[in-house]
Structure 1
């Protein structure tokens, strides 16, 4: 079960993001809410969360989020590919299974923004709910000793690199939203919608648009990741520029409206890059 770890010379990195909606079916079971309409159940779940947090937030805990999109950018050798797992009409179980099957086959380094606090815990609970096997992901050295020192679960290991967590110095008071970090660096940021609109857009049947929104979040995260690799000496300025150009070329070839919009807002030369 040995796996190759990403290095500057050999890329096997999956930058990922998820989009979720309230798990109204789970909420009904947990709180005995009966057969109320989905919107009403979602509002009750949000109200319950406001009570739990004394009004601080209505954002539900990870186990009450249902996954409707998982998007990723895969750097593999000299190839790069942006995609969303499965199809827009796929069940949650199929999407989550596809994500963990990818890890099983390719053992990539995972890169996220706030993935340790949100995306991965959500995926943990949903995999548990659907009975989805993920042996390589959960490996911590029981069968492969290399995972003892570098696995997906340990906060300070790099098989999963949560950029928000690392850049904050692992201090919650220092964390930054993806949108703010992207705009600070001169990147396009979010396009077309915000996370708070996902539930409404899903109810309107706009799952394809949600997947596109998720892909844009992945692109912002991927470009922040390249910048991070530059600052910590894993990329020199020339390689940093070359990888950006590689990604730009991939997006041009895709010829999709949301990617064209991202390209139009992505500066050819980001500021403050030292040679």
Structure 2
């Protein structure tokens, strides 16, 4: 059964060069800082992926679902500072207490939001309280991986075993969903540098939509949604996306990828008939 309201979300980040320079005591021109930080990170961990506290948020996208329907939204640095992005996102939890749905949100998105909110001196008890202020949150809060206030699909689908973690793109592909459509997070810095904000928000929203569609399949698997209700939500999503010009490509790719599995081919029956007659 769908819980209202539900908020599916995702963030996009860049390396915070200023904070990185301060952390490692680097006195370098900005053009050389990123490469220096990458080299230091490789020495520390053997990988390029920066410490969570050094991830500056450039976009947060979400899909809000309640009794009134859908709302797909993005807060980005096109016209907001990182502090303003966080303030707007965190204010959602002051007004409503949605079921949060993410992909890898418990290990990446929420910890980054926590660090960056602290960096800017923000307060977010509605998201981070674990029962100190509201006793009910001792038993159902956004941090505990076994609670249902925040459902990290990567975590629950791996049965909380890190060896079973999968990439969002891979799972979406296997399930007949659009996935990242040839893009990857490596494009994010370039989108920001080139001020291609629509590409950035469309990319982030695409991850949100894939996560939402996997969540619907998860609810079906768990018996928390009937097959008829699942089909209803899929068709409602398709109808909504037809009204979102920035997601035309997502919808177009989805029509094609849906034909890769018997189950998803019913999502776009006209497409199936057209392909069968050609």
Please give the TM-score of this superposition, normalised by the length of structure 1. 0.90
- State the Cα distance separating 1:36 from its structure 2 match: 1.1
Given that 2:192 and 2:200 are in contact with CA atoms closer than 8 Å, whether structure 1 keeps it comes out as yes
> In the alignment, is residue 260 of structure 1 matched against residue 251 of structure 2?
no
* 1:190 Cα deviation from its structure 2 partner: 0.7
1:246 to 215, 236, 241: 236
> How much has 1:155 moved relative to structure 2?
1.3
* 1:48 has 2:36 as partner: no
Q: Following the alignment from structure 1 to structure 2, what is the Cα–Cα distance between the partners of residues 25 and 60?
A: 14
1:81 corresponds in structure 2 to 71
Q: Distance in 2 between matches of 1:158 and 1:9?
A: 12
In the alignment, the residues of structure 2 paired with residue 262 and residue 196 of structure 1 have an alpha-carbon distance, to the nearest angstrom, of: 19
- Give 1:271's aligned residue: 262
Unaligned runs of 5+ in 2: 265-278
Q: Report the CA distance between 1:199 and its aligned residue.
A: 1.4
Distance 1:188 1:86 in 2: 23
Shift of 1:35: 4.7
CA contact (8 A) 1:186 1:271 kept: no
Q: Secondary structure at the match of 1:85?
A: strand
Matched, 1:26 2:16: no
SS at match of 2:134: coil
Instruction: Report if aligned partners of 1:10, 1:77 keep a CA contact under 8 Å in 2.
Output: no
In the TM superposition, residue 18 of structure 1 has moved relative to its aligned partner by: 0.3
Greater per-residue helix proportion: 2
Q: CA deviation at 1:78?
A: 3.9
Contact 1:63 1:126 in 2 (8 A): yes
Give the secondary structure class of the aligned counterpart of 2:225: coil
1:146 aligns with 2:136: yes
Structure 1 stretch displaced more, 112-121 or 259-268: 259-268
Partner Cα distance (2:136, 2:254) in 1: 39
List per-residue Cα deviations over 1:121-144 (Å, max 9, x = no partner): 110000000111111112222232
Aligned length in residues: 262
Distance, in Å, in 2 between the alignment partners of 1:115 and 1:263 is 25
SS in 2 for 1:158: coil
Give the Cα–Cα distance (whole angstroms) in 2 for the partners of residues 41 and 121 of structure 1.
Answer: 24
TM-score by length of 2: 0.89
Matches of 2:32 and 2:2, distance apart in 1: 52
Distance (whole Å) between structure 2 residues aligned to residue 98 and residue 79 of structure 1: 21
Question: What secondary structure is seen at the aligned counterpart in 1 of 2:78?
Answer: coil
Instruction: Point out where structure 1 has 5 or more consecutive residues left out of the alignment.
Output: 1-7
